[in-house]
Amino acid sequence: MTHNSPLSLAICRFRKHQLAIASLFLLLTMILMVLFAPLFERFLGVDANAIDLFNRMGQPSAAHLLGTDELGRDVLARLLYGGRISLATGLIAACIAASIGTVVGLFAGYFGGKLDALLMRFTDGVIALPLLPLLIVLAAIDLVKLGVPETIAQSENISFYRIILIVALVGWTTVARLVRGATLSFKEREFVMAAIGVGATHLHIMFRHILPNLISPVIVAVTLSVGNVILLESVLSFLGLGIQPPMPSWGNMLTNAQELIWQAPLLAVFPGLMIFITVICFNFLGDGLQDAFDPKAEF
């Protein structure tokens, strides 16, 4: 990698964005902590699912660093396991949505004409839908009535996969419009004309010549959308339509805390603070990557 290569220049620009660097450090630390949640649980000598009704809503102490919840469970351990669900939901749903949007935008921008008009009008239709009411309706649908086997519909992990699918199905529109605009520009470049001249197929040109040049804006779009996905998951879980107990998430931890806000306000503060910090960090990271990959930005 030479000093003047696009990647090295992007890294140098990113290093100037102090908030993005700090956000990246915080997010990596958070991800490592939630990944190794069982180790922290063992080190602290607690069990995230152990109920102790004699120690309900306990204050922070040496035994429970962040106190206990309404059932006497350790709040810190549940925050770590809840972070697994919330972060995984945000990252996986954002990546799936970006993949859908990339394919839609790539085909629309490359082929143009009626296909472009059809795909973009469909995209505009999805954008015009009221997002939160739509997500609430989709999350409230009874899966058994849709033909899903009852054993699957009532399994513990189904709410996790359901939220990912719902958010991904409505979250691809921004990437689609971004990729379409970039594809319209790239398909007129000399390297694409040369590929057409040597007889390359349309799929080869799209996925071997145009798509690699779209990676940078797509990465930025994914980073910026992760925070929004985490917020949507938290809202749905807060409304009781997202991740279902006993599986913890920051959203349903807020739901459990809302009735105890006066007796134990810290039960709402901790998951709310984690959501706030995570969303802010992803937004700062996205801004930093956007500046880093912008060729017009000053060095």
Q: What is the pLDDT of residues 11-21, one digit of tens each?
A: 888 888 889 89
One-letter amino acid at 276 equals F
- Alpha carbon dihedral 283, 286, 292, 295, in 10-degree steps, equals -110
Q: What is the pLDDT of residues 34-72, one digit of tens each?
A: 999 999 888 888 888 888 888 888 888 888 888 888 888
The first and second tokens of residue 134, run together, are 């739509």
**Would the pLDDT of 218 be above 90?**
no
Across the range 89-114, mean pLDDT stands at 91
pLDDT of residue 106: 92
Task: Please state, rounded to an integer, the average pLDDT across all residues of the chain.
Answer: 85
pLDDT of residue 69: 87
Across the range 155-172, mean pLDDT stands at 85
Contact between residue 72 and residue 112 where contact means Cβ atoms under 8 Å apart:
no
Q: Is 68 helix (H, G, I), strand (E, B) or coil?
A: strand
Output DSSP code: residue 74: B
Among the residue ranges 6-10, 167-171, 243-247, the one predicted with the least confidence is 6-10
Among the residue ranges 18-27, 170-179, 222-231, the one predicted with the least confidence is 222-231
- Winning range, highest mean pLDDT, from 66-80, 130-144, 280-294: 66-80
Report the 3 state secondary structure along 258-285: HHHCCCCCHHHHHHHHHHHHHHHHHHHH
> pLDDT band for position 81 (50/70/90)?
very high
**Would the pLDDT of 198 be above 80?**
yes
- Alpha carbon dihedral 38, 40, 42, 45, in 10-degree steps, equals -140
Question: Domains along the chain?
Answer: 6-45+71-293 (1.10.3720.10)
The structure's pTM equals 0.86
**Would the pLDDT of 298 be above 80?**
no
**Would the pLDDT of 295 be above 60?**
no
**Would the pLDDT of 293 be above 80?**
no
Of the chain, the percentage scoring pLDDT greater than 90 comes to 20
